């Protein structure tokens, strides 16, 4: 049999296994426990960022076929407003806000892979609003399913988690093959691969403020990789004990790393959590020194009782907010 056919059969078997893997029962109640306080009423809040005035910006991923949304939420009074929703053709994933707070970048899977750029407007009374600036499509020759994006001085850096199409990508992750890498984008050069950034399931990405380094969450190897922005070269963290998802910067210049305690098959099965509940996969959060990649534990939530399948942790106003790619809630804990 042709090797490609065998690969397709094995990938299909993986998906069938995922469908048959129900995982732990979903978390149905929305109650504070174990130092975590939930705020329910969202849909798969996969990524978080912060805005002036105490607002959080959430990327709500689609799971129902109706499309996703970019939503703003203000914890101080519970105010919530949808900033962007256009139907089934908008499928947001990772997001980032530029250092000057003027633009929002969104990974969008709707109608082909792209990075959507928005101008951010801040009104002290009305709250934030978005103005769509442009769509930056990913060239077909990159054969990329993107995951996350981080703004840079000249454009952005983004992660190719695996080739376009879930089946082959997940199979590559299962057998431990490098499935993706980082790409930068600028007006002058377009998309360019970043040297020494290959990994198994590249997921979240962050860029240092001085532009010297990119930080890559290598999901399937349970580690974070620091890559030189110019010339290549890398530093790899020790294993985290969970599969790292998104990366965010703390006010004191550390990285917050959140992720799932799960096998790839369990993570895929978690996508089918019913509305009004949270996936119950265990989660971890650590602080990471960006120079040494040494880690400090923040949260080990296993078994999950309040939120599962953590995909991001973001510090704001003395709290750490945690989002999930599969569920109806964000949660907060005291920053320590």
As a CATH number, domain 33-334 is 2.120.10.30
Q: What is the pLDDT of residues 99-118, one digit of tens each?
A: 999 999 999 999 899 999 99
For residue 232, count other CB atoms closer than 10 A to its CB: 11
CA–CA dist 278, 30 (Å, integer): 9
CA–CA dist 116, 296 (Å, integer): 34
- The predicted structure's pLDDT at residue 166: 61
Residue ranges of domains in the chain: 33-334
* More confident of the two residues 169 and 4: 169
At residue 265, φ and ψ (nearest 5 deg) are -65, -40
CA–CA dist 267, 264 (Å, integer): 5
What percentage of the chain carries pLDDT values higher than 70?
Answer: 92
- Which are the contacts of 123, defined by CB distance < 8 A and separation ≥ 6? 129
Q: What is the pLDDT of residues 201-234, one digit of tens each?
A: 999 999 999 999 999 999 999 999 999 999 889 9
- The predicted structure's pLDDT at residue 167: 65
Q: What share of the chain is helix, strand, coil (3-state, %, to 5)?
A: 15, 50, 40
User: Among 7-16, 61-70, 131-140, 158-167, which range has the highest average pLDDT?
Assistant: 131-140
- Which are the contacts of 27, defined by CB distance < 8 A and separation ≥ 6? 277, 278, 279, 280, 304, 305, 306, 307, 308, 327
- The predicted structure's pLDDT at residue 270: 86
């Amino acid at each position: 049999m042709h090797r490609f056919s065998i690969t397709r059969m094995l990938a299909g078997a993986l998906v069938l296994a995922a469908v048959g893997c129900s995982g732990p029962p979903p978390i149905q109640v929305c109650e504070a426990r174990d130092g975590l306080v939930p705020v329910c009423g969202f849909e798969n809040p996969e990524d978080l960022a912060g805005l002036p005035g105490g607002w959080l910006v959430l990327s709500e991923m689609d799971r129902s076929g109706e499309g996703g949304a970019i939503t703003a939420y203000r914890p101080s009074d519970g105010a919530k407003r949808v900033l962007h929703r256009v139907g089934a053709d908008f499928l947001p994933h990772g997001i980032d806000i530029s250092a000057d707070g003027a633009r929002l970048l969104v990974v969008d899977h709707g109608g082909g892979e792209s990075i959507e750029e928005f101008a951010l407007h801040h009104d002290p009374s009305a709250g934030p609003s978005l103005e769509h600036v442009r769509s930056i499509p990913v060239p077909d020759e990159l054969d990329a399913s993107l995951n996350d994006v981080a703004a840079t001085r000249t454009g952005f850096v983004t992660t190719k988690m695996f080739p376009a199409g879930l089946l082959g990508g997940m199979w590559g992750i299962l057998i431990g093959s490098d499935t993706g890498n980082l790409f930068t984008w600028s007006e002058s050069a377009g998309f360019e691969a970043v040297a020494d950034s290959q990994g198994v399931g590249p997921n979240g990405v962050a860029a240092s403020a001085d532009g010297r380094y990119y930080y890559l969450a290598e999901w399937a190897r349970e580690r974070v990789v620091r890559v030189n922005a110019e010339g290549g070269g890398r530093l790899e963290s020790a294993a985290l004990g969970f599969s790292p998802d998104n990366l965010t910067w703390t006010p004191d210049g550390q990285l917050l790393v959140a992720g799932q305690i799960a096998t790839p098959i369990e993570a895929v099965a978690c996508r089918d959590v019913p509305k009004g509940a949270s996936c119950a996969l265990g989660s971890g959060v650590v602080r990471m020194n960006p120079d040494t990649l040494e880690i400090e534990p923040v949260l080990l939530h296993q078994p999950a009782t309040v939120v599962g399948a953590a995909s991001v942790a973001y510090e704001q106003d003395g709290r750490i907010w945690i989002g999930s790619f599969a569920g109806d809630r964000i949660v907060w804990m005291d920053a320590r």
